[in-house]
């Protein structure tokens, strides 16, 4: 990775049944996080390791920590966390990477 | 991500003191995993989220699950796990991503 750049990732599991309309609706809403200014290289992924219980992942990159902070404070992000994430995600882990 | 492709990631913490020669030596050895056939987009990273205790990360990609399996079974990988990982890594989590 380039210096200063941050890759923000989160692996998660939903409370919804696999393949349900509720799952699809949550993932559609999560994909709209890509529209928040500063978000780059956005990916909504399947988590496929048998060594943990997470089923999905989101990966996004920011040019620097300031851009990451602006994302965290953006009203669309705060609204998504409050209205969707808190009630529809059962387990998650956030892991953020930068150049060494 | 492209269909069939797998991104294998592991976040980890070492038993070694931060900035020590032992830490440097482990990370040097970890970087040589990039030489194993099939490994693409190898990155040795800093884990920077305050929301977990991991300090480093490795990310690599494989063209498909078969290439990932060959990596797992490669003698250089098995040797690294047995001779270094088991005794020098205190905590870790493996998270693997693929296209949805």
Instruction: Note whether B57 contacts A94, CB cutoff 8 Å.
Output: no
Q: What is the pLDDT of residue B32?
A: 98
Q: What was the ipTM of the complex prediction?
A: 0.95
Rounded Cα distance, A79 and B17, in Å: 41
Distance from CA of B69 to the nearest CA of A (A): 12
Listed in sequence order, the residues at least 6 apart from B11 whose beta carbon sits closer than 8 Å to its beta carbon are A95, B47, B52, B54, B56, B57, B92, B93, B95
Nearest by CB to residue B100, choosing from A11, A46, A52, is A46
pTM: 0.96
Structure tokens at A97: 């990477």
- Chain A, chain B: beta-carbon pairs less than 8 Å apart: 77
The backbone region for B20, taken as left when phi is positive above 0, alpha when psi lies in -120 to 50, beta otherwise, is beta
Q: Which residues pair with A56 in a beta bridge?
A: A12, A46
Chain B residue with CA closest to A56: the answer is B97
Chain B residues whose beta carbon lies within 8 Å of the beta carbon of residue A49: 8, 94-96
Q: Look at residue B14 and give its three-state secondary structure.
A: strand
Per-residue pLDDT at A1: 93
Q: Which helix (H) or strand (E) holds B80?
A: helix B75-80
Residue pair B10/B94 in contact (Cβ under 8 Å)? The answer is yes
Enumerate residue ranges in chain A where pLDDT < 50. Answer: none
Q: How far is B33 from chain A (nearest CA, A)?
A: 17
Q: A96–B49: do the CB atoms touch at under 8 Å?
A: yes
**Contact across the interface for A46 and B99, Cβ inside 8 Å:** yes
Q: Which residue has the tokens 């693997």?
A: B96
DSSP annotation of B72? H
Residues of chain B with pLDDT under 70: none
What pLDDT, on the 0 to 100 scale, is given for residue A48? 98
């Amino acid at each position: 990775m380039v210096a200063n750049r941050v890759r923000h990732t989160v692996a998660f599991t939903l409370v919804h049944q696999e393949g349900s309309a509720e799952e699809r609706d949550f993932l559609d809403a999560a994909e709209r996080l890509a529209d928040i200014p500063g978000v780059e290289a956005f990916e909504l992924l399947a988590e496929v390791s048998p060594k943990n219980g997470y089923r999905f992942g989101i990966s996004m990159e920011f040019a620097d920590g300031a851009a990451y902070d602006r994302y965290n404070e953006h009203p669309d992000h705060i609204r998504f966390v409050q209205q969707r994430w808190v009630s529809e995600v059962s387990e998650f882990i956030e892991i953020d990477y930068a150049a060494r």
